[in-house]
Structure 1
Amino acid sequence: MRIDKLHLNNFRNFEEASFEFNKNFTVIIGENGTGKSSILQGLRLAAASFMLGIDEAERYHIQKEDVRRIDIESRFIPQKNCSFKASGELNDQPITWKRTLSRLGGRTDYKEANELIEIAERLNKAVNEDFKEDVDLPVICYFNTSRLWVDSYFTVKLKKKGARLQDGYARCVDNRTDKKSPMEWLKSASWKKLKNKPDSVLLDAVLEAIDICIPNWKPSEWDEDSDDLGGHYSQDDLSSFVPLSFLSDGLKTMGAMVAEIAYRCAILNPHYGKEAIRESKGIVLIDEIDMHLHPKWQRQVVNDLKKAFPNIQFIVTTHSPFIVQSLDSDELINLDATINEKPYKLSIQDVAADIMQVNTRSEKYSNQNGDAERYLKALDKAVNVSEEEKEKILETLVEIENSNDPAFSAFLKMNRLAKLGKTKD
């Protein structure tokens, strides 16, 4: 599954807007409130429309908070015909679908999504009724900003044999990530590997994906003592065995997210064996991918995900110039400005200033620089004016000199003494 285009109408803060996405990786940037998360929500609902044709999957529809409202005097007026329209590809077949909520309080229709739903129904029949094993199923995942691993420790049970479609799509676009199911599957698969069962190659594939995406930590086995996925953490030529839950929040959260994506690849497309992670197609949506990642890691996370999941389409948001700097121009949607430059060719300062439109100097420096310019202009003016005007200018000069920075204040006073000589402060 891939989404190439998305059109939003009266959807959240968009009256009407269209967006195009790279087939592999797209990063959306923009100031807070410009609509990054709104685009992801539209994509989330578009991807979830596939599950209307899957028996065991949850149903997701346009919600009241997705309806655009206009502020008129003392009230908000909900707009009619809130909709999304997506165009893309499913199982190598081009497809377009649309869903609309015509009015607040009504139901989200699906008549213009029937083609997508029918494809999903055929796949559902092939798996659940015809018992076909070699059916390619799209991976769908959504991760919002609440994905931080803050849960207290939970008991990890051995995952029992389940249903391919039910397990593969359970909570896949829910607002809370599913950390428990992947961990249970990893524990169960580890026990199967000890018994030399043939499907243990899926475990190796999942561990390889985690290894690619998590720096300095190589997962290796299920640790009985901690009842957790264990691995070797290496830093400064030292290595120690550390369970996943003992890692830092950034490593742990990214590890859980990658494990969930890889787990769904393995569950939905087990017929690919050890290539299940690399061969699975689908779409993964991540809000604020830079969350809890050090800048060094931000520089490589995009390439790591591309390497681990080469056939998955990622669409993410970020506020990080380091992530933007790792992109090509067709991998970036900038909601603040139109930029044609290739970010990967720019310095981090140029990315921040030219693409993200952020002053690369600190606010304190910028304010001091402005004060200095204003001071020197006023000082030049004070040389050839009447005594009365000079007194007024001196008041301004002294006010600027009263800085919290002693060196800056001394610099200004030295300039005044050089120009005007000793004056009454």
Structure 2
Amino acid sequence: MIINRLKLKNFRGFEELSVEFHPDFNVVIGINRSGKTSLLEGLRIGLGSFFLGIDEQEVRSPLIRDNDIHFVTYEHSREFQFPVCIECEGIVDGKHVHWLRERHGKKKGTTFKDARSISGIAKYLQFRVRLGEESDMPVLAYYATNRLWQESKKSGISETKLGRGYYNGFEATSNNAFFLKWFQEKERTAIQRKKEAFELDVIKKAVSQCVSGCETIFFDFDEKVQTIVLRNINGKEFPFNFLSDGERNLLAMVADIAFRCVTLNPHLGKKSISMSPGIVLIDELDLHLHPSWQKTIVSNLKKTFPQIQFITTTHSPFIIQELDDGELIKLDGEISEYTDQSLEDIAENVQGVENPQWSMKRKKMYEAAKEYYQTLEKMNKDTASKELERLRNRLDELSKPFAKNLAYHAFLEQKRLVRESEIKKT
């Protein structure tokens, strides 16, 4: 399953937007409020149309909500704009498909009649699964920025593979409690049978490939622990709650994707993570990650889940630096060259950061020094006494940032004394 194009109309901050996607990996960039998260939300609703064909109680198709409606503000009113349209083109189960979700008024719901092309395929795939046939089901999941903290209130495990595999897939809440309970039961069964299920082996492999320094994970049944434990390559063990936010976030996300792969496509066996198709949305891929992990996360996800199309957002130049041609989407301007570029060049030319080599403190000091010299030049024998006093006060202000740099502060003061002396002589 691949999405090739998304068109949004009157959706959130977008009056109109059209985006084409790379079939493998996509990273969306832009300044804050440029619409990165809104784009993912539009995709979530569009791709969630697949769930219209899955009649499991746990699986629901996202709707266009009131706060998704674009509005125009006038002097004394706010007018909502209709219709709200989410239009998608892609490939589902080997077929080129076009579908549409709309909303035509505040009191009207989200349409589904123009999404039958994709929901019909989902319905057919579900029919085949229930007949016991082997069908490659697409993995569909969305990981929002609050994915580590906002836990779903439901933790019951569905009896069907589609119910488990698509449970909470396009919700913004975390799936951790649901996965933890499943993992615990699988580990207990493996201990009793003295043989590890292939599902556990696949998930552990995915985590070890994506989480730097991880050898494996396992469930610790000690009554004082009762959680997943990470064992690193040095043999040290860390309960899930003892890990850093970045480690927990990445481990939970990768394990969840792998869990969906093995659950939806058990017929693929140990190849389920490498052969399962699907689309995964991740808001702020760099969330809580150390820069060294940011440099490897893209290649690790590609290697671990090669048949899944990823659409992510980021502010990290480290992540941009790791992309191939065609994998970067910029919402607020043209894309400059980013492959094989330095971090400084990416920050300046791609992300629009001025003088990325300088800290803001250094930049302010440079501007202050520049104005200091310009102010000195304005002081001469023809300068009125009041203006001369104002310039002297300004020099006092400009020299403050350099107070801790004694050598340069003394240099500025010397320049000022020389100038004052020249004025007195004339």
How far is 1:203 from its partner? 1.6
In the TM superposition, residue 256 of structure 1 has moved relative to its aligned partner by 0.9
Q: State the match for 2:71 in structure 1.
A: 69
Q: How does 1:44-83 map to 2 (within 5 A)?
A: 44-56=44-56, 57-83=59-85
Q: 1:89-146, CA deviations, whole angstroms, 9 ceiling, x for partnerless residues? A: 1112111111110111201112221111111111111112x222x1111100011111
The counterpart of 2:291, out of the listed 268, 292, 295, is 295
Match of 1:401 in 2: 399
Of 180, 184, 187, 2:184 maps to 187
CA distance in 1, matches of 2:113, 2:404: 71
Which one-letter code corresponds to 1:251 in the other structure?
A: E
Q: Secondary structure at the match of 1:61?
A: coil
How many angstroms apart in 2 are the aligned matches of 1:286 and 1:40?
8
Counterparts in 2 of 1:222-301, with a 5 A limit? 222-225=219-222, 226-234=225-233, 238-301=234-297
Counterpart mapping for 1:341-380 below 5 A: 341=337, 343-359=338-354, 360=356, 361-380=358-377
Q: Give the conservation status (yes or no) of the 8 Å contact 1:2–1:283.
A: yes
Instruction: After superposition, give the CA deviation of every residue in 1:236-255 in whole Å (9 maximum; x if it has no partner).
Output: xx431223333222111211
Matched AA of 1:258:
V
For residues 198-213 of structure 1, the aligned pairs below 5 Å read 200-213=197-210
- Given the alignment of the two structures, is residue 101 of structure 1 paired with residue 97 of structure 2, yes or no? no
**Which of these residues, 81, 87, 90, is aligned with residue 88 of structure 1?**
90
1:382 to 379, 392, 407: 379
d(CA) in 1 for partners of 2:17, 2:80: 18
Structure 2 Cα separation of the partners of residues 205 and 34 of structure 1: 38
More moved, 174-183 vs 305-314: 174-183
| Paired AA for residue 396 in structure 2 | V
**How many percent identity over aligned positions?**
36
Shift in CA distance, 165/150, structure 1 to aligned 2, threshold 3 Å: closer
Paired amino acid for 2:257:
I
Task: Write the distance in 2 (CA, Å) between the matches of 1:367 and 1:3.
Answer: 45
The number of residue pairs the alignment matches comes to 415
* Matches of 2:401 and 2:183, distance apart in 1: 60
CA contact (8 A) 1:64 1:105 kept: no
Match of 1:39 in 2: 39
Q: Which amino acid aligns with 2:398?
A: I
User: Which amino acid letter does the alignment assign opposite residue 350 of structure 2?
Assistant: I
For normalisation by structure 1, the TM-score amounts to: 0.91
CA distance in 2 between counterparts of 1:333 and 1:197 reads: 49
Residues 1:102 and 1:404: Cα distance change in structure 2 (over 3 Å): same
SS of equivalent to 2:235: strand
1:308 lines up with 2:304 in the alignment? yes
Distance 1:410 1:336 in 2: 45
Go from structure 1 to structure 2 and tell me whether the alpha carbon gap of 1:68 and 1:387 turns closer, same or farther (over 3 Å shift): closer
Range moving further from structure 2, 315-324 or 36-45: 315-324
Unaligned runs of 5+ in 1: none
Counterpart in 1 of 2:175? 178
Deviates more, 1:276-285 or 1:199-208: 199-208
Q: TM-score, normalised by structure 2?
A: 0.90
Cα distance, 1:78 vs structure 2: 0.6
